[in-house]
Structures are given as C-alpha cells and as structure tokens.
Amino acid sequence: MSKVEIRSPLPGTFYRRPAPDSPPFKQDGDAVADSDVIGLIEVMKSFHEIKAGTQGNAIRFLVDDGDAVMAGQALAEVDP
C-alpha cells in the first residue's frame, strides 16, 4: 500500500515542537488522527498549526525541525 503525504499549505519554517524545550508533537513511528497537530509553520513571524489531515500509522518526517519548506512540500508521510 502506498504512503500518504502530509503537505505544507504555506511556505516558511517548519517546527516539530510547540516550543524549543518541549517534546515533538509526533515521533517517527507514531499513529496520527485527522485532527492531530504534527508541527508548526512559521511564516512572516506568525505561527500556524499543521494538522495531519489524514488518518494513518507509522508517521515518518521528511523535513527536520527548523528547516525551510515551500508551499506544497511534503512534510511527512504515513501508512494509510
């Protein structure tokens, strides 16, 4: 079965944690629900939550914490 990608709706900087000293929203291998927050995008000094938007298992992140991303870029993938 093919993987489902979770894409960024915005360009900006991707963060996997709610704050620098907090644990990540999700670890590689976690299951996710549709409404789960998987990260934040910082764009022009404002922060936007990124929801999984899909249900799946064994999430695998494709970009690192603090990486610059383009709109439409895949942030992570899950097994549907």
Contact residues for other proteins (CB under 8 A)? 10-13, 43-46, 66, 68
Smallest distance, other proteins to C-beta of residue 30, A: 26
**Cβ-Cβ contacts under 8 Å for 79 (sequence gap 6 or more):** 1, 3, 4, 56, 57, 58
d(CA 16, CA 7): 14
User: Is the CB of 11 or the CB of 24 nearer to other proteins?
Assistant: 11
The first and second tokens of residue 12, run together, are 């900006």
User: Is the CB of 33 or the CB of 71 nearer to other proteins?
Assistant: 71
User: Is the CB of 41 or the CB of 59 nearer to other proteins?
Assistant: 41
